[in-house]
Amino acid sequence: MRKSIVVLSAIALLTACKEKEIVLQYYQTPYTYDIVNVQMPPVTSEVKNVILMIGDGMGLEQVSCAWVLNKGKLNFDNFPYVGLSRTYCTDYLITDSGAGGTALAAGVKTAESHVGVTPDGTDLPSVLVKAQQLGKKTGVAVTCHFADATPCDFCCHNEERYNQEDLIADYLECGVDYLSGGGTDWFTDVKRTDGRNIIKEMAAAGYNVALTEDELMAADLPVIGILAPDNLPVAMERGDLYRHTVARGLDLLSKGSGDKGFVMMLEGSCIDDWLHGNDIEKAMEELLDFDRTIGDVLEWAAKDGHTLVIVTADHNTGALTLQDGNLEEGRIGVHFANESHNGIAVPVYAWGPGSDKFTGIRENAEWGQLIASFVK
């Protein structure tokens, strides 16, 4: 949600900075992990599969903090090609996940709070729709609930991201083969006011509905795993749940796609939530879990040899700065300047066939168009 930020005059701002004591939050992760060591296939190899990974709210400063916490190593280090993405939307310099995600999903900038539509409300087909038209399998796996903006950017259409009842109903017609996330409350009368049970309607539409991890691991395509009442549990509580859902999606989509290949969007959704709350501990554990998931994906892609992996963010959150810490101890001291988004460009990482094209500074919609160009 957008929060008003009062812009002080230069003199007032300097005065405020002198009077306000900057309080650092310190955090040291309870454990570290080894990163994967993979051999990337030639960039000239054929691209059959495209995996887009989005760390919601994840800027360079957040990645830098995670790098220190894991004592100077991340799976991000495997990416040989890096670019920058400008994230502003059509009506504001500071975007939200609706507009920011739509630019990546459909290659078109749109207005704040819009999901899967142009500024005037016209439906935009996402890269998943293009893949479906080409006979490819498609998948989405997130840590948030399905009514949140980013999964809706790829699967739904609405001028307002908070029209959650309508957005959830859109999943009935999205055609995505593998869906995994949270939000059973949003599918039923716990949060719906229209009396519909979208879980039952998804089953009637031909989806295998899984409400537990075990059910998801046993289900075949098409499947929707709705594994929590709202978002998935926080990273320190859910363990490897998200990594398991991603691995299951890769297995089902690769086996089900034959020679056609697949396109998958994976989101570390809750990095952003905890940055909004200025909770560095939970934000970093979400980012570290996202990085471990990146390692899993890269290991799978290295064995496949024909998979392009892109990692980026929809926007930057929290005005975070890394101001203290210790690399050997895996300890950071940080300061948050706000509880909202900001307009700083976010990184774009690429690995695998075609990855050499992902360099330079571009608009987020241009990155979306480039990603779509490899779906063929």
* Residue carrying structure tokens 């405020």: 16
- Distance in angstroms (rounded) separating the CA atoms of residues 53 and 51: 6
- Distance in angstroms (rounded) separating the CA atoms of residues 321 and 132: 41
Do residues 314 and 97 touch, judged by C-beta distance below 8 A?
Answer: yes
- Distance in angstroms (rounded) separating the CA atoms of residues 140 and 154: 8
- Distance in angstroms (rounded) separating the CA atoms of residues 348 and 304: 22
* Residue carrying structure tokens 């998935």: 232
Q: Which residues pair with 263 in a beta bridge?
A: 50, 138
* Residue carrying structure tokens 């830098």: 64
Give catalytic residue positions: 97
- Rounded to a whole number, what is the largest CA-CA distance in the chain? 64
Backbone angles phi, psi at 137, to 5 degrees: -85, 155
List Cα–Cα distances, 298 to 18, 20, 27, 44, 78, in angstroms.
Answer: 47, 44, 28, 17, 9
- Distance in angstroms (rounded) separating the CA atoms of residues 112 and 186: 22
- Distance in angstroms (rounded) separating the CA atoms of residues 112 and 91: 7
**Own/partner pairs, 235-244, CB within 8 angstroms, 24+ separation:** 235/270, 235/282, 235/285, 235/286, 235/288, 235/289, 236/282, 236/285, 238/143, 241/213, 242/141, 242/143, 242/289, 242/293, 243/289, 243/292, 243/293, 243/296, 244/213, 244/217
Tokens of 301: 């892609």
- Distance in angstroms (rounded) separating the CA atoms of residues 353 and 355: 6
